[in-house]
Amino acid sequence: MKDYFEQTGPTMTFEIFPPKGSGNLASIFATVDALASLSPDLISVTYGAGGTSRENTVEIASQIQNNYTIPALAHLTCAGNSKAEIDNVLKTLSKNGIKNILALRGDIAEGETLSDFRYASDLIKYIRSGYDFKIFAACYPEKHIEAYSMDQDLCSLKNKVDCGVDVLISQLFFDNELFYEFRDKGREMGIKIPIVAGIMPITSQ
């Protein structure tokens, strides 16, 4: 998948949001049916805060990968999860043929104390050390909310990339110039991996 993003020409990907708990997956797969007809290059599947939709993420990603033969990108957040829980998810994803993971810290619940993984970079390093996944990570053209400055954010991003990231996917943005400036500054700092723009299509007038 990394090699694909290094090719020239446009790519088209979609993102699926699993229902929490034992929500109805039939509507999700009806949506996937419609998206599959557009021949996307990849479909990503989100992962609820603290793993609230963990089982659904694994199930949906596995179906997309194996039944629709579309590359699936499973999101994985480490906030609220122990190493044992992360290992369980990673082993299940690998067993089901998932090859791509978007490694994220995730939102921290009020009063929650992080233990095994404090940052996305910790999760990335852990996955890289023991598993054979293509690792995607997030980046922020408009700056991460917790960063003091864009320079600090880019330094943190470079550290994250050096932990073993293959592809970066940006958070949503609505000003192309901000993305280009961010990308160029990243290149100047030595971030050479593909940076994919995350966009939200306008669906109303």
Q: Which of 187, 181, 139 is nearest to 160 (CA)?
A: 139
Name the pTM for this structure.
0.89
Residue 113 has what pLDDT?
A: 64
Provide the residue ranges of all domains of the chain, joining segments of one domain with +.
2-137
CATH code assigned to 2-137 = 3.20.20.220
Annotated catalytic residue within 6, 15, 112, 146: 15
On the question of pLDDT at 205 being above 80, the answer is: no
142 assigned to active site: no
Residue 169 has what pLDDT?
A: 96
DSSP bridge pairs for 44: 15, 73
The CA distance from 85 to 92, in Å, is 11
Residue 73 has what pLDDT?
A: 97
Residue 97 has what pLDDT?
A: 96
Confidence of residue 4 (pLDDT cuts 50, 70, 90): low
Q: Bigger pLDDT: 159 or 2?
A: 159
On the question of pLDDT at 118 being above 80, the answer is: yes
Looking at the chain, the whole-number percentage of residues with pLDDT higher than 90 is 68
Other C-beta atoms closer than 10 Å to the C-beta of 87 total 14
Query: Contact, 44 vs 102, CB < 8 A?
Result: yes
The CA distance from 137 to 186, in Å, is 14
